[in-house]
Amino acid sequence: MLLTPLVAEEPVVTGLVVHPFWVLVSIVNFLVILFLLGRYLWGPINRVLADRAEKIREGLAMAESARAEREKIRQEADRLLTDARRQAAEIAERSTSAAEAAAADIRAQAKTEAERIRERARVDAQQLHDQALVELRSEVASMVVLAASRVLQREIRPEEHRALIERSLEQVGAELES
């Protein structure tokens, strides 16, 4: 009540009144809170956010390097696969060529062997033919000499014998050929 008379003396204000003291107290309170928040809250939050951003950047860089490495490995695998296919095709081609060459060589050897066998058979047949002719001439000569000896009732000299045989064989050969 002591203060009542003082309050009564003040005029009644119906509008908004701004007291400079309270404005100053509010500004000081705001600055103190701002300082405390900046020192104890925003600093650590900013550090955590900066660390988190750095980890994210590192993770992105590692992901990019891993992607680049994966692409490099894929290209190397593709190159190796292409080389392997090319080498397989070359080996198959060489194998085919070698098989064809071996087959051609075997055919050539078989042909040569067959030709050699044919030539040998021809030579053997010619030898047998010549031998048979010699034996036949010898027998024919003996029979002619025997027949001539009986016809002539005498023995013929070897020169006459040989000439007679040759003439007889020529006549027989001419008759056989015609």
If you write DSSP's letter for every residue of 114-138 in order, what string do you get? HHHHHHHHHHHHHHHHHHHHHHHHH
**Cα–Cα distance measured from residue 155 to residue 146, given in angstroms and rounded to the nearest whole number:** 9
Q: What pLDDT does 151 receive?
A: 67
Q: What pLDDT does 2 receive?
A: 47
Q: What pLDDT does 134 receive?
A: 76
Q: What pLDDT does 150 receive?
A: 64
Q: What pLDDT does 3 receive?
A: 45
Contacts of 145 (CB under 8 A, 6+ apart): 156, 161, 164, 165
Contacts of 163 (CB under 8 A, 6+ apart): none
**Cα–Cα distance measured from residue 116 to residue 124, given in angstroms and rounded to the nearest whole number:** 12
**Cα–Cα distance measured from residue 110 to residue 116, given in angstroms and rounded to the nearest whole number:** 10
Give exposure, 22-41, as e/b (b: 16+ Cβ within 10 Å): eeeeeeeeeeeeeeeeeeee
**Cα–Cα distance measured from residue 63 to residue 37, given in angstroms and rounded to the nearest whole number:** 36
DSSP 8-state code for residue 3:
S
Name the pTM for this structure: 0.39
**Local confidence pLDDT in tens for the 178 residues of the chain:** 444 454 445 556 567 888 899 999 999 999 999 999 888 888 888 899 999 999 999 999 999 999 999 999 999 999 999 999 999 999 999 999 999 999 999 999 999 999 999 999 999 998 888 888 777 777 776 776 667 666 665 666 777 777 777 887 777 777 766 6
Q: What pLDDT does 153 receive?
A: 58
